[in-house]
Structure 1
Amino acid sequence: MRTMEYSMATIDEFVGQELGVSDWVIVDQARIEAFAQCTGDMQWIHVNEERAKRESPFGGTIAHGYLTLSLLATLAIEVGLIPPDASAALNYGLDKVRFMTPVRSGKRVRCRVVLSAVERKDGGRILVKTDSELQIEGETKPALIAQTLAMLVA
C-alpha cells in the first residue's frame, strides 16, 4: 500500500516501484488487420490466415511487433503513469525495445509498468522513464520489454 499520493510533487518517491499492471487486452485478427491497413504492412504472416496456418511456425497469424509496442502508451495510462495533477503527457521516445515472443492472433496481453527514473526539467516538466513488460496470457516469456520515455507537463 502506498503511503503517499502519486503526483507531480511526489513522483520522485515512486522511482523503482511498480505502478501497476493493466487489464488484459485482446489482440484479435480485426485489430491486426486494422493495423496492417493503417501502416501498409500487409506481410502474409499478419494478414493471410490460411497461409499462416499452413506455413507459419506459429500456427496462424501474429501481431506486428509495432502493433504490440503501440499498446504500451494506452496501457501505461491505464495503470496510472500520468499523475492526476499533470496537464498533459507526451510520448518522448524509447531507450530500448526488445521483441521477445510473437503475439498470436486471439491472444490477450497486459502491461506491467515500473517507474525507473524521473528527471525534473524547466517549466515544471518531468521526464519519466518506465520499464514496461507486455505479457502474453499463458506464456512464460513476454511479448516485449521496453524502456519508454514520457514528458509530463504541469
Structure 2
Amino acid sequence: MSQTIITSFEDLEALIGKELGQSEYHTITQEQINLFADATLDHQWIHTDPEKAKTESPFGDTIAHGYLTISLLPHLWSQIVEVQNLKLQVNYGIESLKFNKPVKVNSKVRLVAKVADAKNLRGTVKATIAVVLEIDGERKPAYEADVVFLYHFNN
C-alpha cells in the first residue's frame, strides 16, 4: 500500500476533491474495547460485558465505543498519508460527525479519506479531510466526518 506524500500547502491544494486512498483493516478486539473503557472510565455493559451483550443487546455482542473508533483516526490516517516538512501538526476539530452503524467486537475497520478543502491562513494550513470508517462486510460505514488538521510546514 503506497502512501500519499504531502510536503506543502500546494500539495494539499492539488489534492482537493481527490480520494487519497484507504488504510489497512484493523480488527477491534474485546481487549482493545476493555482497555479503552479503562482509559475513559466508560464501562457501560454494552461494551464490556460479552455475556450480557449476547442476551440483552440489540446487536447480539459487545460493540466498540464510538469514541474508540474516532481515536483510531491518527493511526489509520498515517497509513494513507505521510505529511513531511512539518514544524507542527494540530488536530483542530471534527465537523459533521455522524455515527451510522455500531462496530461489533472482532469487526475489521478501515479508513477511506479524501481532501475536502485546504486553506492557507497566513502560513498555517487548515486541511479538511473527509473520512469514512468502513466496516468489512457491512454496507453502511461506522461513521463519516470531516476531520480538520492544522499544519505548520517548514518554509
TM-score relative to the length of structure 1:
0.92
Structure 1 counterpart of 2:65, which letter?
A: H
- 1:33-79 CA-to-partner distances (Å, cap 9, x unmatched) read 00000001000000001000011111110000111111122211220
User: Aligned residue for 1:97?
Assistant: 97
CA–CA distance in structure 2, aligned partners of residues 10 and 60 of structure 1: 43
Q: Gaps spanning 5+ residues in structure 1: where? A: none
- Does the residue aligned with 2:72 lie in a helix, a strand or coil? helix
Moved over 4 A (4+): none
- Does the residue aligned with 1:10 lie in a helix, a strand or coil? helix
Give the structure with the higher percent strand: 2
User: Aligned residue for 1:85?
Assistant: 85
Identity rate of aligned residues, in percent?
35
Query: What is the CA RMSD across the aligned residues, in angstroms?
Result: 1.5
Number of residue-to-residue matches in the alignment: 149
User: Aligned residue for 1:144?
Assistant: 143
TM-score relative to the length of structure 2:
0.91
User: Aligned residue for 1:129?
Assistant: 128
- Does the residue aligned with 2:147 lie in a helix, a strand or coil? strand
CA–CA distance in structure 1, aligned partners of residues 17 and 37 of structure 2: 36
Q: Gaps spanning 5+ residues in structure 2: where? A: none
Structure 2 counterpart of 1:17, which letter?
A: K
User: Aligned residue for 1:26?
Assistant: 27
CA–CA distance in structure 2, aligned partners of residues 10 and 28 of structure 1: 36
